[in-house]
Amino acid sequence: MQPKTLTIALAGNPNSGKTTIFNAITGTRQKVGNWPGVTVEKKEGVIHKYGYELKIVDLPGTYSLTPFSIEEIVARDFLLEGKPDVVIDIIDASNLERSLYLASQMREIDCRVLFALNMADLARKRGVRIDTDKLSEILEVPVVFTVGNKNEGIDALLKKAIELSESDGVPMRKRQVEYTRDIEAAVSKLQDFIEKKSDGQPVYNSRWTAAKLLENDKIIRGHLLKKMGDAGQKILWTAEDERERLAEILDDDPEIVMTDERYSFIESITQEVMVVSAEKQVDVSRNIDMILTHRFLGFPIFVFFIWAMFQTTFSFGHYPMDWIGAGIKVFSAFLEQSMSDSLFKDLLINGIVAGVGSVVVFLPNILILFFCIAIFEDTGYMARAAFLMDRIMHLIGLHGKSFIPMLMGFGCNVPAIMATRTLESEKDRILTILITPFMSCSARLPVYIILAGAFFGAQAGTVIFAIYLVGILVSILSGRLLRSTLLKGIDAPFVMEMPPYRVPMLKNLIIHMWDRSKMFLKKMGGVILIGSVVVWTLSSFPRNVNYSKDYDAKAAQIEKTYQTQLMIRIDDSGRRQLEKEKADALAEMSLQKKAEQAEKSYMGHIGKFVAPFFAPIGIDWRGSVALLSGFVAKEIVVSTMGVLYAADEETGALKNALRASGMTSLGAFSMMIFVLLYVPCLATVAVIRRETNSFKWMFFNIGYSTAVAWIVSFCVYQGGKWMGMS
């Protein structure tokens, strides 16, 4: 017998601990997708508990049911149209009054609502005591205390949700927000008119709908027109008449007065149910902020944290990289010995294993980077970073809130661009979308690690940090240019809540890290595999190459020369030394043959064709081809270099081959700058098209970013040569 399925939606203010509770309930049993018709990320998890199949939906955070951003619209539409069996409103117990604004509105729509007073431990530390029984009695809604990051109250919350789902219908709540006499009369009149025009079956709760129309909620107006046609239009005309009448009587917009009345209702509730101790404990978050958001100290500390993140990524990732590389080397050797020579063997070893293997070794670095970003988010420091960057962001006509998507871009540009939906201004959204790709994503990191590791040694971590700073600087300068030309507009005010600092749960950090890293792994079996095969094919054909020298004869001569010397040597150490010299000489000869074959292949012809474009910035034809392949996915740049330089990263040979190719440290730095700034990957370009709903902005981003990359790389390379750097 199939268990009964219940859909439970988790709603609440941003930073109320909603996602923490979602992770506590679902663990790793989650899937991430998009809401139908929009590119807003949604999280779902399915668990089996107490004889039920529970589908948990984590809604985007919202402060009220009067939405402004796309994410808030999605959250409200799911509550109204998705018809979940139960809605759990996650309330920050340490900030009850603010959270009750959304909670009071949820009572008014036709759904079963359960309140979870989360972060109860933080409320106690602040000396806040809440009478849950009285709160439940006043609001006529079940209330459960929870501490999401400690798994406290989660089972009680699910039991109460199941119990509520089995109740008969949505309860009629007697205590409602009482507006002024004139507004109540208008609400009552409009409510009766709505029920009359809808034959007693209104689309939404009639009182709530009447209030939203008096507040001039444009989305509800659109829904009524769409679903009720002419009847909906008549309702809107009546609502507009009432709005105009109220505006004359009240000498103010009805929505402003109604908001004030709702807050008065909330204040009366908090006075009844909440007591704040006179011996209130010290606010730890405020004390920490005195240092981390200090006017002079805050920014240097933020820069140090970012530097430490990249230094950690490079340093700690080195050891597991070696382990994975060793495993790939053993696997390649096994294939070499167990397969007879054939075209398929060459494809498998030098195309697929070398291509995918040269990228998969960087998985530890990607995991560490995402883990660090998850720490920033879960501790509450991400909001402080936005606050610290607000002054700098105002230089380009944006505010600190736009920096959050940009900081997320260090992980992946795709979700970072999607995160711009939290911005209310359309011009702010487009501007942030256009400059976010300059923030170096994790896919570019393997290229930096290869080039910095080959040419900068112990300073590699600092060089990579400098690359990221260049990306931030270019995004700021580009933003200033675009704001003063194509996207003129006034600076938006910056209002953002500072969540309390929290100790992150290791389980949540791992979940966040793994969710984001899965995209990297999926590329292994998809775009990188295909790209590696394409690059191998173009670099391996035609097969009948006219070499400049007889490599086979030279290899035979090396064998003969060393064989003669080995017959003379008697001691073991001398023989081992000669064997090593012989192997190195043969490997060098093989490398020269592969390099010439690649140069005379189809890929070589493509590289020679585009080489004049890249020569002024210090990149040879092989680097040029690798950069062209990076348009599909930046990780392919490394695998392409591995194929074209006839070396792989897991043995360290690619770094040696790069140094032997004639590339200098200045050329390597110029190439890193170009990789940082030029056209983003195919997935990012596609999401720019979807989020801006414009091919114009998509093509503009492609052209603009590539032009900026070439100009900056040219200045770096030619300027460095002029200064005598190499």
Dump pLDDT digits (tens) for 123-136: 777 778 888 888 88
Whether 187 and 158 map to the same domain: the answer is: no
Q: Which residue has the higher pLDDT, 596 or 140?
A: 140
Res 594 pLDDT > 60: yes
Give all strands of the β-sheet with 143-145 in edge-to-edge order. 30-34, 41-49, 52-58, 4-12, 86-92, 113-118, 143-145
Whether 233 maps to a domain, the answer reads yes
State which of 248, 276, 304 marks the end of a domain.
276
Q: How is residue 281 written in tokens?
A: 């404990």
Last residue within a domain, chosen from 165, 195, 228? 165
Residues 128 and 205 in one domain: no
d(CA 628, CA 640): 10
| β partners of residue 49 | 52
Q: Are residues 38 and 127 in the same domain?
A: yes
Contact (CB, 8 A) for 679 and 632 = no
Residue 180: CB atoms within 10 A of its CB come to 16
pLDDT at 493: 55
Give yes or no for residue 649 having a pLDDT over 70. Answer: no
Across 68-72, 430-434, 442-446, the highest mean pLDDT is recorded for 430-434
Q: What is the pLDDT of residue 707?
A: 95
153 and 188 housed in the same domain? no
Contact 325, 650 (CB under 8 A): yes
Rounded CA gap, 17 and 5, in Å?
Answer: 25
The strand pairing partners of 87, in sequence order, are: 9, 113
Please give the Cα distance from 375 to 372 (Å, whole number). Answer: 5
* β pairing state of 274-276 and 128-130: antiparallel
- Stretch 475-498: mean pLDDT, rounded? 75
Residue 303 binned pLDDT confidence (cut-offs 50, 70, 90): confident
Per residue in 247-259, pLDDT (tens digit) is 888 888 888 888 8
What's the CATH number where 36 sits? Answer: 3.40.50.300
Q: Which residue has the higher pLDDT, 665 or 396?
A: 665
Residue 374 lies in a domain: no
Grade residue 703 by pLDDT with cuts at 50, 70 and 90: very high
Q: Are residues 12 and 159 in the same domain?
A: yes
C-beta neighbour count of 296 within 10 angstroms: 6
- For 596-620, b/e burial (b = at least 16 CB within 10 A) is bbbbbbebbebbeeebeebeebbbb
Instruction: Tell me the one-letter amino acid at 48.
Output: H
Q: What pLDDT digit, counting tens, does each position of 623-642 carry?
A: 888 888 888 778 778 877 87
151 and 197 both lie in a single domain: no
Q: Which residue has the tokens 């007591």?
A: 275
Within-domain flag for 335:
no
Residue 191 makes CB contacts below 8 A (sequence gap 6+) with 206, 207, 209, 210
From the CA atom positions of the chain, what is the Rg in Å? 31
Cβ-count burial of 48 within 10 angstroms (0-12 exposed, 13-18 middle, 19+ buried)? exposed
At 706 the pLDDT is 94
| pLDDT, tens digit, 9 for 90 and up, residues 503-522 | 887 877 888 788 777 777 77
With the C-alpha atoms ordered 574, 577, 583, 588, is the resulting torsion angle positive or negative? negative
Supply the pLDDT for residue 704.
95
Please write the tens of the pLDDT for every residue from 43-90. 888 888 888 899 999 888 888 887 777 778 888 888 888 888 999 999
449 part of a folded domain: no
Based on the fold, state whether residues 74 and 104 are members of the same structural domain: yes
Same domain for 23 and 129, yes or no, is yes
Q: What is the 3-state secondary structure (H, E, C) of 447-497?
A: HHHHHHHHHCHHHHHHHHHHHHHHHHHHHHHHHHHHHCCCCCCCCCCCCCC
At 582, is the pLDDT very low, low, confident or very high (cuts 50, 70, 90)?
A: confident
pLDDT of the residue at 700: 95
- Per residue in 186-209, pLDDT (tens digit) is 888 998 888 888 877 777 888 888
Average pLDDT over residues 592-604: 79
- Which SS3 state, helix, strand or coil, does residue 362 take? coil
Q: Is 506 exposed, middle or buried (0-12, 13-18, 19+ CB in 10 A)?
A: exposed
The overall pTM is greater than 0.85:
no
Can you tell me the distance from the alpha carbon of 470 to that of 476, in angstroms, rounded to the nearest whole number? 10
**Nearest-5° angle of CA 395, CA 400, CA 403?**
95
Number of domains in the chain: 3
Band of pLDDT at residue 709, cut at 50, 70 and 90: very high
| Residues spanned by the domain of 145 | 4-165
User: Does residue 538 register a pLDDT over 60?
Assistant: yes
Please give the share of the chain, as a percent, with pLDDT higher than 90.
11
pLDDT at 673: 95
Residue 504 to residue 375: CA distance in whole angstroms: 7
Cis bond leading into 3, ω under 30°?
no
The verdict on 235 and 119 lying in the same domain is: no
114: β partners: 88
Residue 529 is assigned to a structural domain of this protein: no
Which residue is listed with tokens 């089996």?
A: 48
Between 498 and 102, residue with greater pLDDT: 102
Secondary structure letter of residue 152 according to DSSP: B
Q: Is residue 73 part of a domain?
A: yes
pLDDT of residue 716: 93
Domain-terminating residue out of 598, 622, 655: 598
- To which residue do tokens 């604004």 refer? 101
Residues 230 and 154 in one domain: no
Q: Tell me, what CATH number does 254's domain have?
A: 1.10.287.1770
Span 430-438, average pLDDT:
91
Rounded Cα distance between 193 and 188, Å, is 9
Question: How far is it, in rounded angstroms, from Cα 500 to Cα 513?
Answer: 22
Out of 358-362, 465-469, 624-628, pick the least confident: 358-362
The larger pLDDT score, comparing residue 502 to residue 697, is at 697
Q: Is residue 640 included in any domain, yes or no?
A: no
Residue 491 CB neighbour total at 10 angstroms: 14
pLDDT class of 613 with cuts at 50, 70, 90: very high
pLDDT at 401 over 60: yes
Q: Are strands 52-58 and 4-12 parallel, antiparallel or unpaired?
A: parallel
Task: Please state, in angstroms and rounded to a whole number, the distance separating the CA atoms of residues 638 and 636.
Answer: 5
216 three-state secondary structure? coil
Mean pLDDT of the chain: 82
Residue 323 pLDDT class (50, 70, 90 cuts): confident
129 with 226, same domain: the answer is: no
Q: Provide the phi-psi class of 541: left if phi over 0, else alpha when psi is between -120 and 50, else beta.
A: beta
What letter does residue 504 receive in the DSSP assignment?
A: P
Examine the domain organization and report whether 16 and 154 are in the same domain.
Answer: yes
Please indicate, yes or no, if residue 201 is contained in any of the structural domains.
Answer: yes
Residue 438: per-residue pLDDT: 92
